[in-house]
Chains A and B, each alone.
Chain A
């Protein structure tokens, strides 16, 4: 169940995610190529505003995008509607935000 606002939120979050996904994959490949250790990775990310903004933005975009996507599936396949559907949407958004941002803070806070 999508109105214009949710549709635009999902499309715009996808627009934000697209380059970040590519960047994330590139980072993953780079990090395992030379066998970077945990300490080496944290040494680069902790205190880095760039990595904080990169993954912070990524987490926010993913939380919005995924919550709306699951909302549509839950409505069409599980027949959820009304308050239950809103609770599910906001619940997924909040859970992804909490998990994602805690990870971002853990690796980027100095």
Chain B
């Protein structure tokens, strides 16, 4: 419990899923300090056994996402002054994912669900054929563009209460990618995508609570994408183009 403005009182979740405990560290407060700076200081200066993950430090790679005071955030783009007015920080690994150790989570289930959602490109043409011309202002392209800045950081997945309650649910990121591909004229497997997002863990489980849109650091709106998938799957089913 720090009352010293020069020091931050930082609680860090440690250990693996079987053995979780919490360590407290006193970290010097700096001007323009990010949460990732704090975690790095702890590992460099206080406890070299602390495990965490980061790469670019500028909000491009999406690898440093953690729970900061209970909220999923990119730690590299989160200034301490914005989230720890009282000088206290509570840092934990991303929610809804298995913990490997300390602050590093196993992202396998997250990326596995991208594959399960058919959120991968299905080419229409070979490399010797002409490019498919894409008009930037076409309505389907505009819809796809809304979701293509996703960098797979997993923050929406950690924020999603439906994922927390239903581990089979594919989650906002995978479904949003499926939606961008569904709107991409270069993608050849529209029925495959619609079938993949219609299963028991599919888009229809979304309760539209909107945590994904609220916490996405890139300002994307996966909830809108999932609503689009619900609409298109229902339309396809009503047209009888695929088995319901």
Name A's B-contacting residues (CB within 8 A).
Answer: 1-8, 11, 72, 75-77
B63 CB, nearest partner CB in chain A, Å: 29
Contact assessment for A7 and B166 in the assembled complex, using a CB-CB cutoff below 8 Å: no
Contact assessment for B166 and A8 in the assembled complex, using a CB-CB cutoff below 8 Å: no
Contact assessment for B165 and A3 in the assembled complex, using a CB-CB cutoff below 8 Å: no
Expressed in whole angstroms, the Cα–Cα distance for A1 and B205 within the complex equals 6
Q: What are 21 pairs between A and B in contact, CB < 8 Å?
A: A1-B166, A1-B200, A1-B205, A2-B200, A2-B202, A2-B205, A3-B198, A3-B199, A3-B202, A3-B204, A4-B202, A4-B204, A4-B233, A6-B204, A7-B234, A8-B234, A8-B237, A11-B234, A72-B205, A76-B166, A77-B165
Expressed in whole angstroms, the Cα–Cα distance for A58 and B193 within the complex equals 35
Against A, the Cβ 8 Å flags (1 = close, 0 = not) of B124-163 are 0000000000000000000000000000000000000010
Expressed in whole angstroms, the Cα–Cα distance for A2 and B201 within the complex equals 7
Query: Could you say which residues of chain B place their CB within 8 Å of the CB of A2?
Result: 200, 202, 204-205
Pick from A7, A8, A75: contact of B165, CB below 8 A. A75
Closest residue to B244 on the A side, CB-wise? A5
Count the A-B residue pairs with Cβ separation under 8 angstroms: how many? 37
Q: Is B14 part of the binding interface, using a Cβ–Cβ cutoff of 8 Å?
A: no
- B residues 216-233 touching A (CB-CB < 8 Å): 230, 233
Query: Could you say which residues of chain B place their CB within 8 Å of the CB of A11?
Result: 234
Query: Could you say which residues of chain B place their CB within 8 Å of the CB of A77?
Result: 165
Most buried by B among A4, A6, A76: A4
Expressed in whole angstroms, the Cα–Cα distance for A11 and B235 within the complex equals 13
Interface band, chain B: 10 to 19
Contact assessment for A4 and B237 in the assembled complex, using a CB-CB cutoff below 8 Å: yes
A3 CB, nearest partner CB in chain B, Å: 5
Query: Could you say which residues of chain A place their CB within 8 Å of the CB of B244?
Result: 4-5, 8
B10 CB, nearest partner CB in chain A, Å: 33
9 additional contacts, CB 8 Å, given A5-B244, A7-B234? A1-B168, A1-B205, A3-B200, A4-B204, A4-B234, A7-B204, A75-B165, A75-B166, A76-B162
Query: Could you say which residues of chain B place their CB within 8 Å of the CB of A1?
Result: 166, 168, 200-201, 205
Q: Closest 8 interchain pairs by CB?
A: A76-B165, A7-B204, A4-B198, A2-B204, A5-B244, A3-B200, A2-B205, A76-B166
Expressed in whole angstroms, the Cα–Cα distance for A4 and B193 within the complex equals 13
Expressed in whole angstroms, the Cα–Cα distance for A6 and B230 within the complex equals 12
B16 CB, nearest partner CB in chain A, Å: 22
Query: Could you say which residues of chain A place their CB within 8 Å of the CB of B205?
Result: 1-2, 72
Query: Could you say which residues of chain B place their CB within 8 Å of the CB of A75?
Result: 165-166
Expressed in whole angstroms, the Cα–Cα distance for A7 and B231 within the complex equals 11
Expressed in whole angstroms, the Cα–Cα distance for A109 and B125 within the complex equals 66
Query: Could you say which residues of chain A place their CB within 8 Å of the CB of B230?
Result: 7
